[in-house]
Amino acid sequence: MLYRELLSFEDIKDDPYIKEFILWDINPEDLMKPRCKLTESGIEYREVIKGFIFYIDTLSKKPTVYLMKHTINDCGTTLAIINEVPQDLIVEALVENRDKEYFGMYPINSKIKDWLKKEMGMGE
């Protein structure tokens, strides 16, 4: 799938492929870990990360939820800015995940995850 411009939240809601391959429990720092490292027992490989990841970006004036596409080749592309997420949920997630900040990026928390799933019609 090629995306030439940022998607809207409506686009994401209507895209079954994106919804199927959302990685709900990946943190921004997980994306930056090396593919392999040398340990006492030999070379250790990290799991391949391929899919769509929601995260909070704080580099602009207002913290906002973004959706990133991450490929098997470790290439990440921003697909959408989700302005619809209530700001109080974002602030709560930032406080909850203050120790998981990575270059201005934070993982979403369970409340944002639940809100996104509800808005996208993805029941558990």
What is the per-residue pLDDT across 52-78, written as a single tens digit (0 to 9) for each? 999 999 988 899 999 999 987 778 889
Residue 19 falls inside a structural domain: yes
| Interval 40-55: pLDDT, tens | 998 888 788 899 999 9
Residue 68 falls inside a structural domain: yes
Residue 65 falls inside a structural domain: yes
Residue 4 falls inside a structural domain: no
Residue 3 falls inside a structural domain: no
Count: domains in the chain: 1
What distances in angstroms separate CA 68 from CA 9, 33, 38, 39, 40, one per listed residue?
Answer: 13, 16, 29, 31, 34
Q: Which domain holds residue 30?
A: 9-117
Residue 20 falls inside a structural domain: yes
Which of 66, 69, 26, 17 has the alpha carbon at shortest distance from 46? 26
Query: What is the pTM (predicted TM-score) of this model?
Result: 0.86
